[in-house]
Chains A and B, each alone.
Chain A
Amino acid sequence: MDMALPIVNATTAALARVSAAFNAPLARAVVFGVHIDGHLVVEGLLIAVIVFQLSRKSYKPPKKPLSEKEVDELCDEWEPEPLCPPVKERSHIDPAILESAAGPHTTIEGKEVVNFASANYLGLIGNEKLIDSCVGSLEKYGVGSCGPRGFYGTIDVHLDCEAKIANFLGTPDSILYSYGISTIFSVIPAFCKKGDIIVADEGVHWAVQNGLYLSRSTVVYFKHNDMASLASTLEKLTRGNKRTEKIRRYIVVESIYQNSGQIAPLDEIVKLKEKYLFRVILEESHSFGVLGKSGRGLAEHYGVPIDKIDIITAGMGNALATDGGFCTGSARVVDHQRLSSAGYVFSASLPPYLASAAVSAVNYLEENPSVLANLRSNVALLHT
């Protein structure tokens, strides 16, 4: 274009002289009802030059795709890393091999030891009623359930168990999952999508962190079990920020933190949640059946009505001495998960004998609330 401009100017000047020469006789010529003035010729020529410049291809270095031979050479040269890092002798952990049930006393390599490692809070391992109900289930239903919940994997024991748990906690409905940790990392992505905001405690355990990562929402952490930090985080996120009012906001906390053993102050969390309009997801794996006057969990412990907490999840592998997990909340919360929770829809259901064990465990808890007093006195003993 730089070269073209002087040329255009020269052309224009020449044309001006030419048209001036023609102007006099052509001034009164009319073609198609339009006066042909000299300047129209000049403008037409200018437009022609501009169009010519625009239509010229700009200069680009030519692209040279790799030839087959070059691709072959690259493939031959490439060396992958080994699939796993080499074994370091020092990092060898040999877990203890139990030879009997993981009750309060267990046998390891022939020696009887006191078991402080299992999360057997209510002492239900080895309980006669539990084992009898499991035996009954095994003889009737076999071991596995052989199918996901949607395709004939729903056995009536599952429905009984869900109803029982919902009854015990006082919520409308509940939903069973087949594995403890898969509960929380299926529930969080089912409700929190990309673009939502989640405020989570720093000390949540791996399964919760995995769920937060899979949900692809924005996660903001607050200091472990520090209510002042939570309040200031919520304040920062909502103050003056119009956008946060339109997207979904969640707080994720655990009732008893697996990594540190602290109890979350639920009453303050509920006050903050109502002030800033967030929804609470409470992970109760270690407190269900442990806290509260009758074992109903953190809400009873603090005297908070259970319907103030939006979603409660828990794994049953701790106090209830079975496996699997459940999630409760309002009816809509539970129904949504039946269609869109990955760990529920795409995975085989809980083995029926574990579901009947859960039912008998909850029955036991309802009938013998004194076992909680035992637990509490033991805990107090160890703390002093």
Chain B
Amino acid sequence: SDCFGRPIASAPDAWFDVVERHSNDGNKTLQRTTKTSKCLNLGSYNYLGFAAADEYCTPRVIESLKKYSASTCSARVDGGNTKLHTELEELVARFVGKPAAILFGMGYVTNSAIIPILIGKGGLIVSDSLNHISIVNGARGSGATVRVFQHNNPAHLEDVLREQIAGGQPRTHRPWKKIIVIVEGIYSMEGELCNLPEIMAVCKKYKAYTYLDEAHSIGAVGKTGRGVCELLGVDPADVDIMMGTFTKSFGSCGGYIAASKEIIHHLKHACPAHIYATSMSPPAVQQVISAIKVVLGEDGSNRGAKKLAQIRENSNFFRSELQKMGFEVLGDNDSPVMPIMLYNPAKIPAFSRECLRQNVAVVTVAFPATPLLLARARICISASQSREDLIKGLEVISKVGDLIGIKYFPVEQEKVASVDKLKKLE
């Protein structure tokens, strides 16, 4: 249990300070010490590097903090709607490519509260088998029938849709009121992109609505950071509802839904999370506004484009090097999330502790987030990591991998030599 919940004492940037903890009773309880060790951060969701104080964003955030204070203490409809909120909604809608958007204070709440509003009893939700638990909770809370299709398999989705439309509602066989298909842009435990163009074609053919959860992909993939739609060449107007969070790429907190004007209007008046919950904290809103402006290049510099190019290069480089070393890495190219398969649950603490000893902080995932025997270590690449950081990370992981024996694939000898050559060049 000392592999989880490690406290940190600085911003979750490329290098951060991990607080050391020691235990007197065999890791049942852990007390923190005042010692910290500087480690390479391969675990936080910091895709574009906005996690730490940023030269463009932070002054503006502090200004908005002084102007609007840390919280608005009320719901959006009562008195929590500030100019910043309306500005951000328009900006998000423009960024994603949809007519309108609505904000929420937390990503988890966004899914759990929106799905019950859109669909109720008499509707059908078809969701990918590896969807996040917030989607599962929202689907369960809505009262609609839920069917699962095999992960990223448009043929199976088509079979499920045909069977369900022909069969109708269970027991009464009345036709379904509506069908929503829910997929994610990048799956956080696999690192794969979803097969969006084919899934969209299937949904269009059977007149099902699509809901795309871009929590990990907005801002991180795509030429200008607009997410999987841009990367895979899907028109955002085809996807009915696009959802995303600001926690991962933009270094803030909260979530959004972007859709057509009528849907957003309906949500604003019917969604309890909007009507009863405190609105997003104004400095967090300002952070997202500034971050999106940097990404779009509207702050007058090309830092956004540089960050996007950096994260793409970093992820591709890291992934190819790991594969050459013989690790089993999941995920597609261009995806900044890469799980390294460990398989054996006993290797989890070994991997995690050894890496920490050598000052690299990784995240290991086990049951119940993944199946019992498919434990993995998940690496999240960030735009703020430089080439040297990555090479150091690769060295440490390679050494630890040899120690533990997780290089399941044969190593390509001549390409390993190229890593040494790169080091000499740098």
A residues whose Cβ falls under 8 Å from a Cβ of B: 66, 70-71, 74-75, 78-81, 83-87, 91-93, 95-103, 106, 115, 117-120, 125-126, 130-131, 134-135, 138-147, 149-156, 158-159, 178-182, 185, 205-207, 210, 213-214, 258, 315, 317-318, 321-323, 338, 342-343, 346-348, 350-351, 353-354, 357
Which of B147-155, B261-269, B413-421 lies at the interface with chain A?
B261-269
B residues whose Cβ falls under 8 Å from a Cβ of A: 4-13, 16, 18-19, 32, 41, 43-46, 50-54, 57-58, 61-62, 65-74, 76-83, 86, 105-109, 112, 118, 132-134, 137, 140-141, 161-163, 165-166, 175-179, 206-209, 240-241, 245-248, 250-253, 262-263, 265-269, 272-273, 276-278, 281, 283-284, 287, 361, 363
Residues from chain B with a CB closer than 8 A to the CB of A101 are: 67-69
Known: A118-B79, A155-B9, A156-B19. 6 other contacts (CB 8 A): A93-B268, A99-B83, A102-B72, A134-B70, A135-B62, A158-B7
A-side interface mostly: loop
* Nearest chain B residue, comparing its CB with the CB of A74: B166
Residues from chain A with a CB closer than 8 A to the CB of B209 are: 80, 83
Q: In the complex, which of the residues B8, B43, B118, B178 has the most CB atoms of chain A within 10 Å of its own CB atom?
A: B8
Among B72, B74, B80, B277, point to the contact of A179 (Cβ < 8 A): B277
**B11 x A81 contact (CB < 8 A):** no
Measured CB to CB, the closest approach of chain A to B218, in angstroms, equals 14
Residues from chain A with a CB closer than 8 A to the CB of B4 are: 150-151
**A146 x B177 contact (CB < 8 A):** no
Residues from chain B with a CB closer than 8 A to the CB of A350 are: 253
**A97 x B45 contact (CB < 8 A):** no
Distance of A119 Cα from B78 Cα, bound (Å): 10
Which 3 residue pairs spanning A and B have beta carbons closest together?
A117-B79, A317-B278, A84-B266
**B277 x A181 contact (CB < 8 A):** yes
Distance of A157 Cα from B61 Cα, bound (Å): 19
**6 residue pairs A–B, Cβ–Cβ below 8 Å:** A81-B178, A117-B74, A131-B66, A138-B283, A156-B32, A158-B7
Residues from chain B with a CB closer than 8 A to the CB of A214 are: 137, 140-141
Q: A102-B73, A146-B44, A321-B70 are in contact. Are A96 and B79 (CB under 8 A)?
A: yes
**B166 x A75 contact (CB < 8 A):** yes
Distance of A138 Cα from B252 Cα, bound (Å): 11
Measured CB to CB, the closest approach of chain A to B14, in angstroms, equals 12
Distance of A362 Cα from B140 Cα, bound (Å): 38
Q: A135-B62, A138-B61, A322-B71 are in contact. Are A95 and B118 (CB under 8 A)?
A: no
**A87 x B283 contact (CB < 8 A):** no
**B262 x A156 contact (CB < 8 A):** no
Q: A142-B54, A156-B19 are in contact. Are A98 and B178 (CB under 8 A)?
A: no
**B108 x A346 contact (CB < 8 A):** yes
**B83 x A139 contact (CB < 8 A):** no
Q: A103-B69, A144-B51 are in contact. Are A98 and B162 (CB under 8 A)?
A: no
**B276 x A205 contact (CB < 8 A):** yes
**A143 x B252 contact (CB < 8 A):** yes
Residues from chain A with a CB closer than 8 A to the CB of B283 are: 134, 138, 143, 353
Distance of A350 Cα from B165 Cα, bound (Å): 43
Q: A97-B83, A182-B109, A351-B252 are in contact. Are A118 and B78 (CB under 8 A)?
A: yes
Residues from chain B with a CB closer than 8 A to the CB of A80 are: 176-179, 207-209
Q: A93-B269, A146-B251, A347-B108 are in contact. Are A154 and B276 (CB under 8 A)?
A: no
Distance of A206 Cα from B271 Cα, bound (Å): 11
Distance of A222 Cα from B194 Cα, bound (Å): 48
Q: In the complex, which of the residues A115, A205, A354 has the most CB atoms of chain B within 10 Å of its own CB atom?
A: A354
Distance of A205 Cα from B186 Cα, bound (Å): 35
**B269 x A144 contact (CB < 8 A):** no
**B246 x A144 contact (CB < 8 A):** yes
Distance of A180 Cα from B118 Cα, bound (Å): 23
Measured CB to CB, the closest approach of chain B to A128, in angstroms, equals 10
Among A79, A103, A143, A158, point to the contact of B284 (Cβ < 8 A): A143
**B263 x A74 contact (CB < 8 A):** no
**B8 x A155 contact (CB < 8 A):** yes
**B7 x A156 contact (CB < 8 A):** yes
**B43 x A152 contact (CB < 8 A):** yes
**A138 x B8 contact (CB < 8 A):** no
Residues from chain A with a CB closer than 8 A to the CB of B45 are: 146-147, 348
Q: A151-B43, A323-B278, A353-B283 are in contact. Are A86 and B262 (CB under 8 A)?
A: yes
**B51 x A323 contact (CB < 8 A):** no
* Nearest chain A residue, comparing its CB with the CB of B273: A181
* Nearest chain A residue, comparing its CB with the CB of B46: A146
* Nearest chain B residue, comparing its CB with the CB of A358: B70
Residues from chain A with a CB closer than 8 A to the CB of B252 are: 143-144, 351
Distance of A303 Cα from B72 Cα, bound (Å): 32
**B363 x A131 contact (CB < 8 A):** no
Residues from chain A with a CB closer than 8 A to the CB of B32 are: 156, 159
Residues from chain A with a CB closer than 8 A to the CB of B79 are: 96, 98, 102, 106, 115, 117-118
**A142 x B53 contact (CB < 8 A):** yes
Measured CB to CB, the closest approach of chain A to B270, in angstroms, equals 9
Measured CB to CB, the closest approach of chain A to B120, in angstroms, equals 11
**A354 x B70 contact (CB < 8 A):** yes
**B69 x A75 contact (CB < 8 A):** no
Q: A118-B80, A138-B58 are in contact. Are A75 and B65 (CB under 8 A)?
A: no
Residues from chain A with a CB closer than 8 A to the CB of B118 are: 83-84
Distance of A145 Cα from B133 Cα, bound (Å): 20
Distance of A154 Cα from B44 Cα, bound (Å): 11
Distance of A84 Cα from B176 Cα, bound (Å): 15
Distance of A70 Cα from B72 Cα, bound (Å): 57
**B70 x A348 contact (CB < 8 A):** no
**B10 x A351 contact (CB < 8 A):** no
Residues from chain A with a CB closer than 8 A to the CB of B251 are: 142-144, 146
Measured CB to CB, the closest approach of chain B to A364, in angstroms, equals 13
Distance of A101 Cα from B74 Cα, bound (Å): 12
Distance of A210 Cα from B76 Cα, bound (Å): 19
Q: In the complex, which of the residues B70, B76, B175 has the most CB atoms of chain A within 10 Å of its own CB atom?
A: B70
**A97 x B69 contact (CB < 8 A):** no
Measured CB to CB, the closest approach of chain A to B156, in angstroms, equals 16
Residues from chain A with a CB closer than 8 A to the CB of B179 are: 80
Residues from chain B with a CB closer than 8 A to the CB of A86 are: 262
Distance of A318 Cα from B141 Cα, bound (Å): 27
Distance of A185 Cα from B113 Cα, bound (Å): 11
* Nearest chain A residue, comparing its CB with the CB of B274: A95
* Nearest chain B residue, comparing its CB with the CB of A121: B73
Measured CB to CB, the closest approach of chain A to B356, in angstroms, equals 11
